[in-house]
Structure 1
Amino acid sequence: MEATVSNFHYGAVTPVAAFLMACLGAALGLRCTTRAIRRGTNRVGWLALGAVSIGCGIWTMHFIAMAGFTIDGLSMQYDSATTVLSLVVAIAVVAVGVFLVGFRGTGTAVLATAGVFTGLGVAAMHYLGMAAMHSPGELRYSSLTVALSILIAVVAATAALWAAVSVHGLGASLGASLIMGVAVTGMHYTGMAAVDIPVDHHGAGTQSSAGMMSFLLVMLVGPLAALIMSAVIVMFDGDAMLGADEPGPRSSVPVPGRAVAGQGGPASHHHPGT
């Protein structure tokens, strides 16, 4: 007997909220990574913050989306330890990719290696999160759809890393984060489309929607706090918030009224407002 499976128990609320969280994490991560690469100062700290932002964004996207996942109208129970482990995996694999491009450059081989590793890690986070779920029956997956979801994850991760090292303007980064939100959310729902759950009896291992929401709120406290902290740091750092005309790490921003090295007069070529 097949169970009635739904990914949209609350309608558009969970997919829209999941998409916005993925976009937020991507946007913050891109600005942090751009700040690290373009300026060079405190590179390790900014790359780490970027990895935490992207990892937490992906993870919160996953579990907000899972809040709308039901079997026969009932929400799932989750193993807390495995759920937290999936968060650690998400941050760790993103960190590997971010630090690779942050320190090894933007070559095709480096970008491809970092993208593949990070994409596989994101997929591992997704399916590890699924493994944390107590379902009334054994989860079965369509191999073809799983492979498609992994491919989407790899492409999305590679695109995110490419954007981090190639897209420097604030507006362009926001656009890239929207594309990343679509890709990461699409990967999630593609993975969910691969799930088939035959059940012998109803209700085993399930809980009420209220119980699921309580679990979700507890699990989201840490990642949401990390994203808020990252947003505050980015907002109050002028270098991280610079637009498309931001200079590279080796260039200097002339100060109005101060002579430029090697010139006798004031920095007359300085652009107003920068």
Structure 2
Amino acid sequence: MDHDSMQHFSAGLSTLLLAYVVSVIGSLIGLACMARARAEPTRATKVRWTAFGAVAIGGVAIWLMHFIAMLGFDVPGVPIKYSVPLTALSAVVAIAVVGLGLSLVTLIRFTAVRLLVAGTLAGLGVAVMHYVGMSAIRFRGDLSYDPRLVALSFVVAVVAATAAFWFTLVVEAAAARLAAGLIMGVAVTGMHYTGMAAVRVTTDPAVAAPQGTTAFDLVFPVFVLSALVVAALLWMLFTADDDDVPGGIA
């Protein structure tokens, strides 16, 4: 089947807007957790806030954004299902890789080199999560990719993620934090749709009917779980005691 027959906005541009907004919200929460981790005096609390930041950025800003954006993916006349284990694995990959990147600038002394490595890891987390998530797609046919656009999607993710980390770590003004969240949202959504532009679909009616779950069957549990995660992270940020942190979160 021709690539042009695919639809990335089958539900309208609302999926793009919602995906970007969710990505920005997750990024802002995660970057706030990241700043908090750097300000904490003890290693245990640094580790805790770093983990919270990884969940917010990896789980909400990256994975949930991808899930929302994929609600607009459609190949007319071809039923599409998803492997639940691989879909879940993509979330784990995003959280783990982002957590590793964050730890380089929250648990040890900050340097420009570590910032670059952390941004690279976070960007790779965005990209790897995307392609693991795409491997969960099941339909009568195969997916292939334009390698040039795949490479570009990795570059977009790494550059924008590094820029977002720089704004958070180097510039402490509130406006810079907001800019960091907006940039991180661009990193995630930009990488996603660049990666989707690389997709090529080939259908084959001889292939057995796909096994798995439709994206819309996953909407309710995914959104309920994500809402609980966001609410819990916001509650912890707003109720955390700043008295033990020199200068607060600032």
Q: TM-score, normalised by structure 1?
A: 0.80
Check whether the contact 2:31–2:53 (CA below 8 A) recurs between aligned residues. Answer: yes
Q: Which residue of 2 aligns with 1:153?
A: 157
Selected match of 1:216 from 215, 219, 229: 219
3-state DSSP of counterpart to 1:198: strand
Partner amino acid, structure 2, of 1:158: T
For residues 250 and 168 of structure 1, what CA distance do their matches in structure 2 show? 15
Q: Which residue of 2 aligns with 1:256?
A: none
Check whether the contact 1:93–1:121 (CA below 8 A) recurs between aligned residues. Answer: yes
Q: How does 1:167-206 map to 2 (within 5 A)?
A: 167-201=171-205, 204-205=209-210
Selected match of 1:52 from 44, 52, 55: 55
Report the alpha carbon displacement of residue 11 of structure 1 after superposing the two structures with TM.
0.7
1:105-140 alpha-carbon deviations (Å, 9 max, x no partner): 331211122222222222111000000010221101
Q: Which residue of 2 aligns with 1:94?
A: 98
Query: 1:143 and 2:144 equivalent?
Result: no
Q: Which residue of 1 aligns with 2:122?
A: 118
| CA separation of 1:206 and 1:228: change in aligned 2, threshold 3 A | same
Q: TM-score, normalised by structure 2?
A: 0.88
Q: 17-26 or 100-109: which moved more?
A: 100-109
Q: 212-221 or 113-122: which moved more?
A: 212-221
Report the alpha carbon displacement of residue 60 of structure 1 after superposing the two structures with TM.
0.2
| CA separation of 1:74 and 1:166: change in aligned 2, threshold 3 A | farther
Check whether the contact 1:74–1:207 (CA below 8 A) recurs between aligned residues. Answer: no
Partner amino acid, structure 2, of 1:50: G
Query: 1:128 and 2:129 equivalent?
Result: no
For residues 75 and 206 of structure 1, what CA distance do their matches in structure 2 show? 10
Q: Give the percent of matched residue pairs that are identical in Structure 1 and Structure 2.
A: 42
| CA separation of 1:218 and 1:22: change in aligned 2, threshold 3 A | same
Report the alpha carbon displacement of residue 170 of structure 1 after superposing the two structures with TM.
3.2
Check whether the contact 1:51–1:98 (CA below 8 A) recurs between aligned residues. Answer: yes
Check whether the contact 1:69–1:76 (CA below 8 A) recurs between aligned residues. Answer: no
Instruction: Give the number of aligned pairs.
Output: 244
Name the Cα RMSD after superposition: 2.7
For residues 220 and 89 of structure 1, what CA distance do their matches in structure 2 show? 19
Check whether the contact 1:101–1:161 (CA below 8 A) recurs between aligned residues. Answer: no
Q: Which residue of 2 aligns with 1:22?
A: 23
Check whether the contact 1:160–1:176 (CA below 8 A) recurs between aligned residues. Answer: yes
3-state DSSP of counterpart to 2:81: strand
Higher helix share: 2
Report the alpha carbon displacement of residue 238 of structure 1 after superposing the two structures with TM.
6.3
3-state DSSP of counterpart to 1:104: coil
Q: Can you give the 5+ residue segments of structure 1 that lack an aligned partner in the other structure?
A: 241-248, 253-273
Check whether the contact 2:161–2:183 (CA below 8 A) recurs between aligned residues. Answer: no
Check whether the contact 1:33–1:47 (CA below 8 A) recurs between aligned residues. Answer: yes
Q: Which residue of 1 aligns with 2:2?
A: 2
Check whether the contact 1:67–1:216 (CA below 8 A) recurs between aligned residues. Answer: no
Check whether the contact 1:56–1:224 (CA below 8 A) recurs between aligned residues. Answer: no
Q: Can you give the 5+ residue segments of structure 2 that lack an aligned partner in the other structure?
A: none
Q: 168-177 or 102-111: which moved more?
A: 168-177
| CA separation of 1:172 and 1:85: change in aligned 2, threshold 3 A | same
Runs of 4+ in structure 1 over 6 Å off: none
Report the alpha carbon displacement of residue 71 of structure 1 after superposing the two structures with TM.
0.5
Larger Rg: 1
Partner amino acid, structure 1, of 2:203: V
For residues 124 and 85 of structure 2, what CA distance do their matches in structure 1 show? 21
Q: Which residue of 2 aligns with 1:255?
A: none
Check whether the contact 1:156–1:180 (CA below 8 A) recurs between aligned residues. Answer: yes
